[in-house]
Amino acid sequence: MQRFDAGGLVLTVSFSGSSAEGAQEAQVSLAAKVRFMSDGSAYGETGKTVDVVETHMSFVFLVGDRVYKFKKPVELPFLNLATLASRKANCLAESTLNRRLAPDVYLGVTPLTRLPGGGLKIGGEGEAVEWLVVMRRLPEELMLDHLLASGPLEDGKTERLAARLAVFFRGATRGEIAGAAYFERLRSEQADNRAILTRRRFAVDHGRVPIVLDRMDAALSSARALLESRAEARHLVDGHGDLRPEHICFNDGIDIFDCLEFSAGLRLADPVEEIAYLGLECELLGAPSLGPDLFARIMRDMGEAPPFRLFHLHYARKGLLRMRLSLAHLLDPAPRQPAKWEPLAARYMALAERGLDRLDAAVSPPQPERG
């Protein structure tokens, strides 16, 4: 075990690889790697500002027209990046999978090497002590989240995005999963939601939480036949897995990046799920109509006509999932931005309720006219 402290970030890492590999990694601490990558001279740009972004699993360094990313040496329930070999494999998977929707953005994977004198270098013939994903830097002002901050998305951009996603979903690898297994996966996700969201330690509305969870349980049960039929008909695909506005850039061609690279099982999804997730995140940013609009256009382009209630169901599911993931940050030993997560979780719960209300309205029989 080794404890790293990099400017307030404290991680406990378990090296499960060979003793030689563990010794090699221990010779260059996480803090030293971050310091080196944060200095413009590492890129031959002495004096140039390097923007550093820390995520849950990575450090990202933006300098000039390039982006460099390396993974934290962490062990999580869903992902083990404790060894250098596992981080290299993850970087290669990230670069390969993201070229499906951003072919010109991901430039490859290169080592961070240790020189004979003990210094570090990006690339080169030295001993690899870390692996870096290298990307072309995209203009922030063309990201969908930035565009939505200025108002509704132009219809031409909506149509372009719908066409881009329809082509991707049509060409994506079809998943083979039994309907019952797919439904059980959704039910298991809901059980995980309940286990986290009902913890009294979190500052959420504990009167509303069980009501929303019970409503979601009932909605899933009512839609079981529809959900299982979608899987049996092989509508599920190896998708993006994390389709959010901040991962979509309106270049000359639309680049969609930062897919969920570490789990093929979690990427296996109905395109309706992916669109509903994007719709949820757009509504969080004040664009409630974009998700339903994209759903209608993408399904039209794909030649499908699933009921709109399927969109509302997945929208509500994703709201509860995002609520759970927000609160789960507070279970980390040293959570980043601790004041952020409970208010964000409350917003996701409100959106999940909104999705369930829309679902109820969609499945309710029409009321007879008075007169």
For residue 252, give every residue at least 6 positions away whose Cβ sits within 8 Å of its Cβ, in sequence order, or none.
none
Q: How far is CA 214 from CA 151, 198, 211, 305, 349, in A?
A: 35, 12, 5, 28, 13
* Structure confidence by residue, pLDDT tens digits, 163-219: 999 999 999 999 999 999 999 999 999 999 999 999 999 999 999 999 999 999 999
**332 pLDDT higher than 70:** yes
Reading across the β-sheet that carries 58-63, which strands appear in turn? 51-54, 58-63, 66-71, 127-136, 106-114, 120-122
**23 pLDDT higher than 80:** no
List the helix and strand counts (H, then E) for the chain: 13, 14
* Structure confidence by residue, pLDDT tens digits, 72-88: 998 887 889 999 999 99
Give the pLDDT confidence score for residue 117 in this predicted structure: 84
Give the pLDDT confidence score for residue 367 in this predicted structure: 52
130 in Cβ contact with 263 (< 8 Å): no
240 in Cβ contact with 254 (< 8 Å): no
Token pair recorded at residue 34: 């971050």
For residue 287, give every residue at least 6 positions away whose Cβ sits within 8 Å of its Cβ, in sequence order, or none.
148, 152, 153
Give the pLDDT confidence score for residue 315 in this predicted structure: 98
Task: Look at 200 and 1; give whichever has higher pLDDT.
Answer: 200
Q: What SS3 state is found at 246?
A: helix
Residues paired with 58 in a beta bridge? 71
Give the pLDDT confidence score for residue 48 in this predicted structure: 84
**12 pLDDT higher than 60:** no
* Structure confidence by residue, pLDDT tens digits, 236-263: 999 999 999 999 999 988 999 999 999 9
Q: What is d(CA 155, CA 169) in angstroms, rounded to the nearest whole number? A: 21
Q: What domains does the chain contain, in order, with CATH numbers?
A: 2-137 (3.30.200), 142-363 (3.90.1200.10)
* Structure confidence by residue, pLDDT tens digits, 104-156: 999 999 999 999 888 999 998 889 999 999 999 999 999 999 999 999 999 99
Token pair recorded at residue 31: 């803090």
Q: How far is CA 51 from CA 28, 38, 54, 189, 314, in A?
A: 22, 8, 10, 36, 36
**324: part of which helix (H) or strand (E)?**
helix 308-328
